[in-house]
């Protein structure tokens, strides 16, 4: 784990921001996140092409606001961004490692979770940042190494709560923090909190958009 202090800020839905040594890395600024959630980023990571994780206008705004900002993502997203930002968009896949704005990143996973057998699966990658924070995108990918903080896709058209609980158990993080939560109503949240907290085997919490936590 990197020794420099790390701050995690929860944005809306699946978007999170990590800050360290004066640099910022943002993951999955999509259409459900705030319009300026990617602005100020030095590095942007995108897990897959679905619009709740990838919003081209949000990323373009961030790239234009910071001419040094770069993007790392899979091919389907990179092909949409690279023509406008030559040399600043990097294609990655499972097993790759890279350094982005001072953060060490490992890429894990290949496919989006099954939504329905009749819907073709697209590519999806997860990112392990500084050997500490794992964001799986839209998949229940197990990185195969210790994880301090798991960003947990808590509610989606492709999962159910038993799978979410078993995923926490299999990864075994110190703590799991909810993402992919825009569709989870306030009425349902206490049920999810209680069951994941009681059965997952790890500390489980949710953060309001804009809330911070440190490492």
- pLDDT per position as a tens digit, 188-198: 999 999 999 99
Determine the 3-state secondary structure of 6 from DSSP. coil
The answer to whether 11 touches 34, Cβ cutoff 8 Å, is yes
Q: What is the mean pLDDT of residues 27-32?
A: 98
Phi-psi region of 173 (alpha: psi -120 to 50; beta: other; left: phi over 0): beta
Question: For the domain bounded by 7-207, which CATH number is listed?
Answer: 3.60.15.10
In the 8-state DSSP scheme, what is residue 122?
P
CA distance 138 to 25: 19
**What would the pLDDT profile of 114-130 be if each residue is shown by its tens digit?**
999 999 999 999 999 99
Helix or strand run (H / E) with residue 65 = helix 56-65
Length of the chain (residues) = 215
The percentage of the chain sitting over the pLDDT mark of 70, rounded to a whole number, equals 99
Per residue in 70-89, pLDDT (tens digit) is: 999 999 999 999 999 999 99
pLDDT(3) > 90: no
Q: What is the overall mean pLDDT for the chain?
A: 96
> Domains of the chain: which residue ranges?
7-207
Between CA 165 and CA 154 the distance in angstroms is 9
CA distances to 22, 63, 78, 174 from 90, in Å: 22, 14, 7, 31
Question: Within a 13 Å sphere around the CA of 6, how many CA atoms are in the beta-carbon half?
Answer: 19
Q: Tell me the pLDDT tens digit for each residue of 135-177.
A: 999 999 999 999 999 999 999 999 999 999 999 999 999 999 9
* Per-residue pLDDT, 1: 46
Instruction: Give me the pLDDT at residue 4, please.
Output: 83
Which pLDDT score is estimated for 137?
Answer: 98
Q: Return d(Cα 138, Cα 28) in angstroms, integer.
A: 11
pTM of the model: 0.96
Residue 2 has pLDDT above 60, yes or no: no
Pairing of strands 126-129, 103-108: antiparallel
CA distance 191 to 197: 10
The packing angle between helices 189-199 and 161-171, to 10°, is 40
Q: Using one digit for the tens of pLDDT, what is the confidence trace for 44-71?
A: 999 999 999 999 999 999 999 999 999 9
């Amino acid at each position: 784990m990197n020794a420099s202090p790390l701050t995690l800020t929860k944005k809306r839905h699946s978007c999170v921001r990590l800050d360290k040594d004066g640099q910022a890395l943002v993951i999955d600024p999509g259409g459900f996140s705030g319009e300026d959630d990617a602005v100020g980023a030095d590095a942007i990571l995108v897990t897959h092409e679905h619009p709740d994780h990838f919003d081209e206008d949000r990323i373009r705004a961030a790239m234009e606001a910071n001419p040094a900002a770069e993007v790392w993502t899979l091919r389907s997203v990179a092909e949409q961004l690279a023509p406008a930002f030559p040399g600043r968009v990097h294609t990655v896949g499972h097993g790759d490692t890279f350094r982005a704005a001072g953060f060490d990143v490992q890429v894990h996973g290949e496919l989006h979770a099954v939504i329905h057998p009749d819907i073709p699966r697209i590519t999806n990658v997860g990112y392990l940042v500084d050997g500490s924070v794992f964001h799986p995108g839209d998949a229940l990918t197990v990185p195969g190494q210790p994880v301090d903080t798991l960003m947990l896709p808590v509610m989606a058209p492709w999962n159910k709560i038993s799978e979410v609980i078993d995923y926490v158990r299999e990864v075994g993080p110190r703590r799991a923090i909810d993402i992919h939560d825009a569709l989870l109503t306030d009425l349902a949240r206490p049920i999810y909190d209680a069951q994941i907290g009681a059965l997952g085997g790890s500390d489980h919490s949710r953060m309001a958009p804009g809330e911070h936590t440190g490492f």
